[in-house]
Amino acid sequence: MKNKLFLLVILIIASPIILMAGGTQEADGSGNLKVAFCIQHVNNEFMQGLANYVEEEGKKSNVEVVVYSAEQDTNKQINQIETCITQGFDGIILDANSAEALVVAVKAAQEAGVPIMTLHDDVTAGVSDAFVGVDFAQGGTAKMEQCVKDLEGKGDICIMDGEMGTAAQLTIRGGYDPVLEKSPGINIVYEDTGRWTAEPAAKLTETWLASGKNIDAIVCNNDGMALGVVSALKAAGKNGEILVYGLDAQQQAMKEIIDGNMAGTILTDSPGEAKAAIATIIKLINNEPVEKSQMIPMIVITKDNVNEYYTP
């Protein structure tokens, strides 16, 4: 009880945005339930938007959402979940930084009687109480199909993965395989991780360009990396010469498509994910039945339809 009173005092006297364990929390004082959103990072437009959407949906349902950013550090995310358990959160929404390594932390929450679901990036073996996400496999397949179509079935490509071992990276990459298996004219020159964000993606692109090998397209697991690729290509004077594909349909990525610097991206319905996540965690807290897995479809965005989704 003392701990809860102390936390209440801190929330009252602090500013609306409070740094906590590498993340941020926003308290409006109106929530009947208190839920933690443990997110991998907020280092790009999409992830920051996802965090914001979850907070906004929480407010609509009188749920106070506290966002913890792991800054792509799995050990930090495990510690954050442990903190949420000890601080008496009613439930936890987890965007897992590692499909395998977070399983123990998820089970610890369950053993403590704290409902825990996964959002956007799942843990393995369906361990969490529920999962809400987009159909990454379908998105990966659609993106690679678009790349093969644009290259007319023949070309040298590089694949830029997100953080290796995350559910999103594994699922998106798995979506490429059925397309590549039936596309013998496509040659993978390089494959490596850009860690989901622009800076490492740009450095990796510089390394690939320096090799002197022919590259016709770079297929990235997300837009954060794709934008890093574009910046490196611009710096090398090669923007528009190499097809670049992302995923998430960030506004900046769609602007690059309009400008001819990217070939495509995939629309990820993060507001839909957030809405479903809040509805699901409330049901879990109230011991109501939920769907074990909810998948939201994805849409291919190219120069042909980008203006339908881009907001200047």
- The CA distance from 94 to 97, in Å, is 9
Q: How far is CA 96 from CA 25, 103, 107, in A?
A: 18, 9, 13
CA torsion through residues 295, 297, 300, 305, sign: negative
- Tens-level pLDDT at each residue, the chain (312 residues): 334 333 333 333 333 333 333 333 333 344 489 999 999 999 888 899 999 999 999 999 999 999 999 999 999 999 999 999 999 999 999 999 999 999 999 999 999 999 999 999 999 878 999 999 988 899 999 999 999 999 999 999 999 999 998 888 999 999 999 999 999 999 999 999 999 999 999 999 999 999 999 999 999 999 999 999 999 999 999 999 999 999 999 999 999 999 999 999 999 888 999 999 999 999 999 999 999 999 887 899 999 999 999 998
What local confidence, expressed as pLDDT, does residue 13 receive? 31
What local confidence, expressed as pLDDT, does residue 167 receive? 85
CATH of domain 2-131+270-295: 3.40.50.2300
Same topology for domains 2-131+270-295 and 136-268+302-308, yes or no? yes
What local confidence, expressed as pLDDT, does residue 26 receive? 38
Q: 136-268+302-308 adopts what CATH topology?
A: Rossmann fold (3.40.50)
What local confidence, expressed as pLDDT, does residue 91 receive? 98
Token representation of residue 80: 């954050």
What local confidence, expressed as pLDDT, does residue 256 receive? 98
pTM of the model: 0.70
Nearest one of 38, 17, 35 to 26, comparing CA atoms: 17
What local confidence, expressed as pLDDT, does residue 288 receive? 97
- The CA distance from 288 to 281, in Å, is 10
Say how many C-beta atoms besides its own lie within 10 A of residue 61's C-beta: 16
- The CA distance from 185 to 172, in Å, is 21
Residue ranges per domain, the chain? 2-131+270-295, 136-268+302-308
CA torsion through residues 163, 167, 168, 174, sign: positive
